[in-house]
Structures are given as C-alpha cells and as structure tokens.
Chain A
Amino acid sequence: MQVVYSFGAVGAVMVAAAAGLVIGGSAWIAVVAYAGFAVFLAGFCYRVVQWAAAPVPFRVPTTCGQQTSLPWIKSAALENPSTTSGVLGRMGLEILLFRSLFRNSQAGLHEKRLILSEQKYLWLAALAFHWSMLVILVRHLRLFVEPVPALVVALARIDGFFQLGAPDFYVSDMVLACALAYLLLRRFRDPVVRYISQFSDYFALLALIGIAASGLSMRYVTRVDVVAVKQFALGLAAFHPVRPAALGAMFAVHLTLISVLAAYIPFSKLMHMGGVFLSPTRNLANNNRAKRHVNPWNYPVKTHSYAEWEDDFRAKLKAADIPLEADHATRASAD
C-alpha cells in the first residue's frame, strides 16, 4: 500500500510539473525551484538547530574495539577513539566510507545452526549511490556557476573518461542508476526490508529515480538546450530569473521533482545527511573515565544516604561488628 501511495505521490508531482508548465510556463518552474530550495534551507537549519538545542547529557559512544587503558595494550584508535583526532577519524570513516554498514552480515538458520555470512551489497550500493550522487551534484555546478570552475570541468572529464557516445557518457550516471535500482528492488524483494519500508522510503527512492531518469533523458535521449538551461539556472542564482527558451516538459519534471524532494528533506528521514554528524554513539570519544562529561540538566535525586542506611541497620551492624559512624543505640531500627 505504501508503495502505491509513493508511486501516486511521485506521479502527482510529475503531473503537477507538466500542468504547471502548461498553465504557468517557465515562471512556474522558477517559483517551484525557489520555494523548494527555501523550504529546504530553512527546514534543514531548523532541524539541525533543534538537535543542537537538545544537550547530550551522557557520553555514550558505542565502542567497536579495544579501549585505551594500559599502555602495552594496543587500543583501537579509530573504532574506539579516546582522542578528538581519533573521533575525527572514526567520523571520517563513517561518513565517507560507511564503516558501520561495511560490518554488515546476514544471519541464516541452517538446521539449528546460526550462520552469519558476509553481506556487502547494501554497503556497496549505498556507497555507490551516495558518491555518484555527490559527483553528479558537483558536476551540476557547471550550470550554476559562470565561468565554470576548473575543478568541475576536471571532474566531468574524469567522469566522462570513456568518451562513449555523444554527449560523453558519464560513469556516475550509470552507477547512480544501478545503485538506485538495487536499493528499490531490495525494498521490493527482501521480505525483511519490505516489512519495514514505509511511504517515506519509497517516496524518496522513487523521487530520486524520477529525477535521475528525467536527467538522463535530457542528456542522452530527449535532449535539452543546455545553454538555455544554464541561462535559466544562472538567472535563478542571481535572483533575476529569466524566461528561457522552451526547455520542455522533461526539464519541468526534473526541476519540480528536485524542488519537491529538497523541500521534503527537512521533514523526512533524508535528514540523516545532517544527523550522521551528530550521532552521540559515534562522535564522542570513549574517554569517559579520563575526562568528566557534564550533564547540563543534572539534578539532585532522592537517595538513601549512608546515615539513613546506618540508622536502618544499626543494631545489626553492631551485632556483626561492622564499624559504625555514629553510635546512637537508642535510634536503632527494628529492622
């Protein structure tokens, strides 16, 4: 059911894009783009500020290796960091290489035996998706910046290294498409993942697939006047949106889906892009006993103090010859 809704939602966005184009023309696209981006920025900042506003009362890193203790025991500087540089390393591995996901295994039962086997496809697909996505985003800067930064040109050149076809076929395009297809198929086919998948999961994937498909189409199939696209994009960036030459429905779909997805980010799980930096189980050093962590809302609690305890058990303490703090025999409890 969630899948159907997601397909419906993405379809609706596409129809809206086309309808908007017919009714409002390119001005409509500009409005959608501005709105999407504004919601994204404001919402993203709001969410991060909301997280930052909540304190981290306790230092609770998940330790994934040997602690730093005795000097002759080698500690796991990255898996269980006790220093800031170690934490930076751990976060770097986590964010750039998806360290934790790389640990993934698959549990299977075979005649009462639990077999834990390697399972690296999810890691591979996730890494492939995110990196190709980053490459594609950076490549898109050629449409938003004039003159085009040399770095972007160089990246595009590497990405189009094979010089297959015209225009050059980009490796990142194919990697992204394959990774997205795998991630979606996985949600459909793996019974466990299907069980846990929700509207948000399908919607994000389908929107991305829609964006990728319309983008690929503009580049390789239906084609688009890239100069006009850049004029339009620069106009947006300079806050002087221009009415460009007709860019076609595919462009409208592409940009509308992006805008909708961007606006959706702050309200969805896609906030993991910011959240991954703030996870207290990963971004804190395991130096708990070496350096005191302060809880800003630490408050006094009702305890059972030694004096009360001694009062409770005075007679028994005395009988057992356990040293006492104060010897008020008369106040000895009956306990």
Chain B
Amino acid sequence: MINISETKTKTKTETKTKIIDVQKIEKVFTLHERNSTQVTGFSDVSFSVNRGDLLALTGVSGVGKSSILKAIYRTYLVSSGEILFHRSDKSVVDLVTCSESQILQLRKREIGFVTQFLKILPRVSALQAVAAPLVETGVSEQDSLYQAANLLNMLGIREELFNISPLTFSGGEQQRVNIARGVIAPKDLILLDEPTASLDEQSSDRVLTLLADMKEKGIAMIGIFHDRKKIERVADKTYEITRKNTEKPFQAIREVA
C-alpha cells in the first residue's frame, strides 16, 4: 500500500498536490500605544495553492497583501483562522499554532520569503549575501558562491559588482540581489512581495523567466503583483483582496481582459 502511494506521487502526470491551505484568516492589530485602538489588517482570507503553481495576490495598496504574506511567514500573528502547510513528507502543520522552533526549521528548508527591500549588513558582498542561505543548509562555501554567481549572472547583475556591498547598488539591482538570495536555497513554497516592482522591462523579464523555471521544478509561490501582463505570464490563479475576497482561476481573469 505504502509503496504504491509513494510511486504515485513521483509520477509527473499525477495531478498537482496541495502545499498550502489558508482558511479564513483574519488579522486585527491592537495598538496599546494608541489607547488600544484596533485596526483590521485583513479578514476572511481563504485560498489554497498547489505545488508548482503561482498564486498572484492583487488589490489596491493598503488592502493587506503584504500582511497576508507576513502572516504565512509568522512575522505577523493572525487573530483567527488556520494556515495548513502540507510538507513533502505528507505531514500537515498549522503555521498559526506550531512552535517557533518548528517555524525556524520550516524557514530554513521549506518556506522562503523575498521581501520588497534588501535587508542585509553593509559589510557583506553581493556574492556572499546571495550564497549565505545556501551555506546555511550545509552546502560548501565554494559551491554556494559558484551558484550565487550563476544566479546573479542570470538576473543580469554585472560581474564587477559581485564583490561589492549590494547596499551601494541601484534599487533595481538590489531587488534582483534580494530575489537571488531568496530563491538560491531550495524551498517548497516561496512568498514574493512585489518581486518586479522597481525593475525595467528587461530585468523583470529575467525575473519572470526565473519564476517560470522554479514552477517547473515544482516550487509553489504566492506573489504580490500589480501588472496584469506579468500576472498573465506567470500566475496560475489570482486572489483579489477587497472587502470581500474572491478567488478566481487565472482563466477567468483572461476572459475579463
């Protein structure tokens, strides 16, 4: 029995398996410094994502898109709801209630986050900054640096910049370094906060190609995008955050357009 089910998951023709199931999450901030004012970040958000799929979160600024990504990564604690993460060993963890240590383990190997801005120390070179997450998983420094160089090349970062602190780079270059850093170590689910926001046409094309490659490898992604063209190119479905949230398959979006 067990053997059969194992071989089943390995065949590529098998229908895609679910990786994350977000159920009715809500975030209410209580500001004790402001007479305990309550601010709702988002509410009644539910969606699920399959391995190898990309879900695009859309909606106007301030509607809570980044907050949702942070809630999945446990940077924000949700007020209610469940976030069920299906691990590759088939166990399921609720990212809302599992221990901090478990989250740390998941962040190392399974869930990645590419934030909007590069947050690293000023004393680290671009190559080191990108290689670091791979070194942490136990890959040798030499191999990690080699892979980091390949990734930066692919994203169009000039080689002469490799040994300089990326904090001196332009906004678009920093964003690409940040993406490289976020995807270099193998993960099962990657959260992307506006990965192409400050990139020119050519650079964002390179990033979208990279995201498509990652999908091919079975990596699931949840990303915040604003540009419909980009969404059409990489997303499998979109989830629009409004007062009332709606999950639409990608096809539906295209018909509307």
> Do A and B originate from a single complex?
no
* A-to-B contact residues, CB < 8 Å: none
Q: Write the residues of chain B forming the contact surface with A, with a CB cutoff of 8 angstroms.
A: none
